[in-house]
């Protein structure tokens, strides 16, 4: 989360609901992150926790969504 918050264009990261028992997919380690979609004001994403999935909202500066989404793929 701190690496995402430190990215240029990221205003903040908001933690959402947690879902136990679900997975991002085979071979995705704890801490793995998947951007789901762009929404007004930022990006919706999920991260794999030790107990399931955790929703997060990445609040971005206007127009930075694509740049940040691509940078997250390289983390």
Segments making up each domain of the chain, as ranges: 2-73
Per-residue pLDDT reduced to its tens digit, 16-69:
999 887 676 666 788 889 999 999 999 999 998 888 889 999 999 999 999 999
Return the pLDDT at 24: 67
Strand order in the sheet with 42-49: 10-20, 52-60, 42-49, 33-39
Return the pLDDT at 19: 86
Higher pLDDT, 52 or 8: 8
Q: What is the mean pLDDT of residues 3-13?
A: 95
How many angstroms separate the CA atoms of 71 and 58, rounded? Answer: 13
What lies within 8 Å, CB to CB, of 55 at 6+ separation is 15, 16, 17, 18, 19, 44, 45, 46
Return the pLDDT at 26: 65
């Amino acid at each position: 989360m701190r690496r995402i918050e430190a990215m240029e264009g990221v205003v903040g990261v908001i933690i959402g609901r947690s879902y136990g028992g679900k997975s991002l997919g085979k071979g995705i380690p704890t801490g793995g992150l998947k951007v789901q979609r762009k929404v007004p004001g930022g990006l919706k994403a999920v991260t794999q926790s030790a107990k399931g999935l955790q929703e997060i909202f990445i609040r971005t500066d206007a127009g930075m969504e694509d740049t940040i989404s691509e940078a997250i793929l390289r983390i």
